[in-house]
Amino acid sequence: MQDLIRQLLVEIGEDPTREGLLNTPKRVEKALKFLASGYDADIDVVLNNAYFTVDYSEMVIVKDIDFYSLCEHHLLPFFGKCHVAYIPSTKVIGLSKIPRLVDVFARRLQVQERLTNQIADTIREKIAPLGVAVVMEATHLCMSMRGVEKQNSFAVTSAMLGAFRDNSRTRMEFLELLSLRSAVPGLSGRTQAGLACVGDD
């Protein structure tokens, strides 16, 4: 990988032998292996059987989970907040495991829509809840650094499964508890309709 990175430096017009770039291939290799570590992660090992039988059927929400990922189209970062909710049927999942689950899928080459669905689908598969909802808000550097160069735009994606998809009151309760507008910097004054929500299932 380091040889490829040296070649890339040459192709963009740099000199990989100059002092500031001598260790860059090693650093980039280390960084990329970390940012793509989700490929090697075993979901079952990450979750570590942290499923608990409880008599609880109300909504569980973990919000404002920071995530960082790489866009598979340009290998540029996108990052933001992930909000996860589910309604247990018989089991709950350890709260600390949900951010870990987000990291597993974020640390791969991604598109935000697929990332959102993968998190929701995994929770549904592992604990069979009555419903799962995942909302992700992200800034994409492929939009703000290049291309359209829109520095203040956000992409918002959602996956609504089970009760969150079928019951509008449940969905609205989640969105109200989420307080999405106040959670996104710079959204005061914008209307909710101005957000692009995709990925609903």
pLDDT tens digits, one per residue of 17-57: 999 999 999 999 999 999 999 999 999 999 999 999 999 88
Mean pLDDT of 147-162: 84
Do the beta carbons of residue 91 and residue 131 sit within 8 Å? Answer: no
Q: What is the mean pLDDT of the chain?
A: 88
Hey, which residues are catalytic here? 71-74, 112, 140, 142
Specify the higher pLDDT residue, 142 or 31.
31
- Per-residue pLDDT of 74-115, as tens digits, reads 999 999 999 999 999 999 999 999 999 999 999 999 999 999
The dihedral sign for the CA sequence 23, 24, 29, 35: positive
> Which CATH architecture fits 48-198?
2-Layer Sandwich (3.30)
The pTM of this model reads 0.85
In the structure, what pLDDT confidence band is assigned to residue 61 with cuts at 50, 70 and 90?
very high
In the structure, what pLDDT confidence band is assigned to residue 157 with cuts at 50, 70 and 90?
very high
Mean pLDDT of 183-192: 39
Break the chain into its structural domains and give their ranges.
2-35, 48-198
Rounded (10°) angle between helices 97-106 and 112-127: 140
DSSP 8-state class, residue 23: T
Output the DSSP codes for 110-136. Answer: E-HHHHHHHHHHHHHHHH--SEEEEEE
